[in-house]
Structure 1
Amino acid sequence: MNKISIIGTGSVGSTIAYSLAIMGMASEIVMIDINSEKALGEALDIRQGTPFCSPCSIYAGSYVDAEDSDIVILTSGIARKPGQSRLELAQTNVNITKSIIPEITRHAPNATYIIVSNPVDILTYTFHKFSDLPENRIIGSGTILDTARLRARLSEYYNISQSNVHAYVFGEHGDSSFIPWSVANISNVPILECDKLITTPGIEKPKLDFVDIEQYVRKSGGRVIARKGATFYAVSISVCHICKCLLGGVDTTMTVSSMMHGEYGIDDVCLSTLNLVGDDGIRGKVNVPLTDEEVAKLRLSADTLKDVIKNLEI
């Protein structure tokens, strides 16, 4: 019996609820939104399809209904507009998050919280500073989506299953993110050697352009927003993956945003590196060996976020 509450029933929150129901991951899903009619409509629409899924109770509710939640997912806030950076949303969504924190933590003090709203690293930091929850139970979705985009792109290059691609995006979920290519591999073949070591008869592979791939990953969200107005499918699947790992009982590594305490020389900021996630939230960090250049990029990403935090009221 797993109970998951979702705050915010816009495109992302509603798609997460739908995906959770399809996957049969929760026996109870609570949808909470300041627009109660929207929440009621979304819950009703999903609920009427559940006879063909695993049994699940899905309903619109208030913070009180989140009591005894195993997981609370925050998707509330102002959505990013075409041409707008995630960091430009900062103060508005910080204020919204600060207003939500005491209300939800009062009723669901033992839940693990997944922060999805943008700018996700800033809001994860806000959650750490403004709530009394243990650090391990505050998880920012971070660059798990960027990492999924990267793996999807590399799998296209090599015409190979995404599950064979092991590569990550570190840093801010935004413009200062980067790919530590030194640890990227496909089935244990270092990415720098894949062109000569992975051969598929009859298939010509384009030359791997690291700069192009990094730009592709970094700009994917903006491209989707420009074309269809919002991103919600890929991020929803990514958040459901986090939920699956929280409920599965076996630790899994993933790039989610968490508080840094001196790792790679970075302190007092939330960004994405490789974390161990299990049934107690973030169980620890996997400090993969980075090159000096990659450490410098990670520190630059941290400084970018700290510069924004300095100018915010948190």
Structure 2
Amino acid sequence: MDIKTNKISIVGAGFVGSTTAFALMLEGLASDIVIVDVNKDKAEAEAMDLSHGAAFVKAVEIKAGDYSDTANSDIVIITAGVGPKPGETRLDIINKNLNIFKQIVPEIVKYSPNSLLLVVSNPVDVLTYITYKLSGFPANRVIGSGTVLDTSRFRYILSDYFKVDARNVHTYIIGEHGDSEIAAWSLTNIAGMNADEYCDNVSKNCDKSFKNDIPEQVKNAAYEIINKKGYTNYAVALAVRRIVEAILRDENSILTVSSLFTGQFGIDDVYLAIPSIVGSGGVEGIIPVPLSEEEKNKLKESADILKKVISESDLSI
């Protein structure tokens, strides 16, 4: 009897890559995890450290290796690259990471031509588009982590403000994973009420400025963490684990991954975060969510910003 195994490779053994491996190991989602990094000693140390917890988790083989060791991966997660330093935006680091991706992606495709690629490195929307172009894969098999993390931050801050469980706050951050991201208030609800209704009917004394203040907190959250500790890793690793779970379990979950727009909302040929159905085939479809006119305009503006960055970058694809 054939036993289904799941092989996941992670390219990049930095803070995000290693924490992602840890999150995947704890959840028991993979039978094999391969970690690849230009710093082979770092990759080997991370694999060894994780492997020493074997007695406490479901059976999994974790090893460091070269691209040849990633062969026949079901999912390849790309976390490699340089992150923004204090004072830099995600878009500031595009050309640095572009050159790295030109080396990484062809190697991944060579050894795992049937895999699904999940891009986490920043600027994630631009690098997901670049990965799509470099790989030659169909768009549904090239996904960016998008605003899955931003959406979780939004839900957490709203839950803290309204004093309810974050799991009972339903909302999304859409657009760029970055400074032009959009809080989709038109899609926000708590107990079937929109944020204003919940404010008026339940909280009663909430400050109406929350609709301006909270999105700013969400947008600046990563910068605040980076300024204080130099990087982010825990929550983004959990966001990646959630996406991987939806893929491997064929959940058809709705997640704000970065997906290729092909005319939706009047936007074409750019990756942006939008509620999308995620299953075993990757992105099974973008949901035509009922956005307000203001949100639609902001989404187009976000797309234009990313397209401009791509056009000014040394793609050479």
Question: TM-score over 0.5 for the alignment?
Answer: yes
Offset at residue 80 of structure 1 (A): 1.2
Q: Deviations over 1:111-133 (max 9, x none)?
A: 11100000001100101111111
RMSD: 1.2
The amino acid of 2:313's aligned partner reads L
Query: Given the alignment of the two structures, is residue 282 of structure 1 paired with residue 283 of structure 2, yes or no?
Result: yes
Q: How far is 1:102 from its partner?
A: 0.8
Counterpart selection for 2:185 from 165, 181, 188: 181
Give the AA of the match of 2:231: A
Partner of 1:77: 81
Deviation larger for 127-136 or 212-221: 127-136
Residues 31-180 of structure 1 aligned to structure 2 (within 5 Å) = 31-180=35-184
Conserved in 2, the CA contact under 8 Å of 1:157 and 1:206? Answer: no
User: Is the Cα–Cα contact under 8 Å of residues 83 and 90 in structure 2 kept in the other structure?
Assistant: no
CA displacement at 1:187 relative to structure 2: 2.5
Which 4+ runs in 1 deviate beyond 4 A? 204-208
Deviations 1:242-293 (A, max 9, x none): 0000011220001011111110111111111111000110000111011111
Q: Structure 1 unaligned runs (5+)?
A: none
SS of 1:287's equivalent in the other structure is coil
Instruction: Summarize the alignment of residues 234-245 of structure 1 with structure 2, pairs less than 5 Å apart.
Output: 234-245=235-246
One-letter code aligned to 2:290: P
Query: Paired residue for 1:17?
Result: 21
Give the AA of the match of 1:86. R
Residue 51 of structure 1 aligns to a residue whose secondary structure is helix
Contact 2:12-2:37 within 8 A present in 1 as well: yes
Q: Structure 1, residues 79-107: CA drift from partner, whole Å, max 9, x if none?
A: 21011000010011011111111111110
Percent sequence identity over matched residues?
45
> Counterpart amino acid of 2:286?
K
AA of the residue aligned to 1:196: D
2:218 corresponds to: 217
Structure 2, unaligned runs of 5 or more: none
Q: Shift in Å at residue 198 of structure 1? A: 2.8
Residue 182 of structure 2 aligns to a residue whose secondary structure is coil
Query: Partners in 1 of 2:99 and 2:21 — Cα distance?
Result: 25
- CA–CA distance in 2 between the matches of 1:112 and 1:137? 5
What amino acid maps onto 2:234 in structure 1? Y
1:26 to 12, 25, 30: 30
Partner of 2:261: 260
SS at match of 2:199: helix
In the aligned structure 2, how far is the partner of 1:9 from the partner of 1:208?
41
C-alpha displacement at 1:199, in angstroms? 5.2
Alpha-carbon distance between aligned partners in 2 of 1:173 and 1:249, rounded to the nearest angstrom: 25
CA 1:210–1:27: 2 relative to 1, 3 Å: same
In structure 2, how many angstroms separate the alpha carbons of the residues matched to 1:231 and 1:19?
14
- The DSSP-based 3-state class of the residue aligned with 2:256 is strand
User: Aligned partners of 2:201 and 2:133: how far apart in 1?
Assistant: 48
CA contact (8 A) 1:189 1:197 kept: no
Aligned partners of 1:7 and 1:31 also within 8 Å: yes
Query: In the alignment, what sits opposite 1:251?
Result: 252
Instruction: State the match for 1:295 in structure 2.
Output: 296
* TM-score between both structures, scaled by the size of structure 1: 0.97
1:211-268 deviation line (CA, Å, top 9, x unaligned): 1101000000000000111000010000000000001122000101111111011111
Report the 3-state secondary structure (helix = DSSP H, G, I; strand = E; otherwise coil) of the residue aligned with 1:198: helix
Shift of residue 197, structure 1, vs aligned partner: 2.7
User: How far does the alpha carbon of each residue in 1:163-194 deviate from its partner, in whole angstroms, 9 at most, with x for none?
Assistant: 11111001110001111211111122111211
